[in-house]
Amino acid sequence: MSENAIGIFDSGLGGLTAAKELIRVLPNENIVYFGDTARVPYGSRSRSTIITYARQDAYFLLSKGVKLIIAACGTVSSVAGTLTNELPVPFTGVVVPTAAAAVSATGNGRIGVIGTYATVNSGSYKEEIIRHNNRLEVYQQACPMFVSLVENGIIDPNDDIVKLLVARYLSPLKEQGIDTLILGCTHFPIIAQAISDYLGSEVTLIDSGRETALYAAELLKSHKMLNTASAPGSCRYYVSDTVDSFEKTAEIFLGKSVAGAVSHINLEKVAVH
């Protein structure tokens, strides 16, 4: 089973930031990525709909024989915790490892969280942070338009639209004097430079994709499921909408072409038990 792939899913492309970090942290592991591009975004959906979508995504990955499933989506991680006990393989979202990293990083005890409406409204990051230390102060801000910026390739930190939206969304957090900010959506690291430019270098940004990749590595190690092969692992990508648009945008996230490695699948044919 150690040679089986790691499964990653997201509502679209944001989870590719987690996949990129996973490739860096565990270069010998095989990866199967599923982006539910036909139903993106999840952030504006109801809790019950998100859970239904997450189960379908996870069971598709199980059909590929994966040994671990990562919900590389802040929205899913915030509302679909029931998957942990349902799936026959280890499962993790992004909330637990990311919150722990923020708690370790803060100096003044004032932590900001940005994400989709669903992530922020769930209060999952705040709850997990307070579970570690109930004296910490947590300030949350939904930033839904950041997702649109990234998926449309508007990511230059000097772009006037990027700077305007960053200032509009983050000014309340800046006024609160946060010293740590959780990038609670896996799209957000793509515009991390613009966020850092606005908040200042004294504010530590916590990348949920990176923290989840590190957590996944420890999870596989504890289950004795690390791939011991010496050759670099392979990556295969699946989407529920058009392949072409995914291939083009994926280059922004991964910094390399995925042409020829992407396939379309029909989720209606996936069996959910």
Average pLDDT over residues 264-268: 88
Q: Where are the domains of the chain?
A: 6-92+210-269, 95-208
User: If we measure between CA atoms, which residue out of 109, 122, 95, 118 comes closest to residue 182?
Assistant: 95
> Quick one: 109 exposed, middle or buried, by C-beta within 10 A (0-12, 13-18, 19+)?
middle
pTM above 0.85, yes or no: yes
Residue 221 has pLDDT above 90, yes or no: yes
Look at the block and give the residue holding tokens 């637990």. Answer: 96
The domain over range 6-92+210-269 is classified in CATH as 3.40.50.1860: yes
Of the chain, the percentage scoring pLDDT greater than 90 comes to 71
Helix/strand/coil (H, E, C) string of the chain?
A: CCCCCEEEEECCCCCHHHHHHHHHHCCCCCEEEEECCCCCCCCCCCHHHHHHHHHHHHHHHHCCCCCEEEECCHHHHHHCCCHHHHCCCCEECCHHHHHHHHHHHCCCCEEEEEECHHHHHHCHHHHHHHHHCCCCEEEEEECHHHHHHHHCCCCCCCCHHHHHHHHHHHHHHHHCCCCEEEECCCCHHHHHHHHHHHHCCCCEEEEHHHHHHHHHHHHHHHCCCCCCCCCCCCEEEEECCCHHHHHHHHHHHHCCCCCCCEEECCHHHCCCC
> Are domains 6-92+210-269 and 95-208 of this chain identical in fold?
yes
Residues 125-167: tens digit of each pLDDT:
999 999 999 999 999 999 999 988 987 889 999 999 999 999 9
Phi and psi dihedrals of 214, rounded to 5?
A: -65, -40
| Contact between 51 and 75 (Cβ < 8 Å) | no
CATH numeric code, 95-208:
3.40.50.1860
Look at the block and give the residue holding tokens 């349902």. Answer: 86
Q: How many CB atoms lie within 10 A of CB 160?
A: 8
Tokens of 76: 């899913």
DSSP-assigned beta bridge partners for residue 112? 139, 181
Residues 64-98: tens digit of each pLDDT:
999 999 999 888 887 767 788 889 999 999 999 99
Dmax (CA) for the chain in angstroms is 50
Cite the active site residues.
73, 185
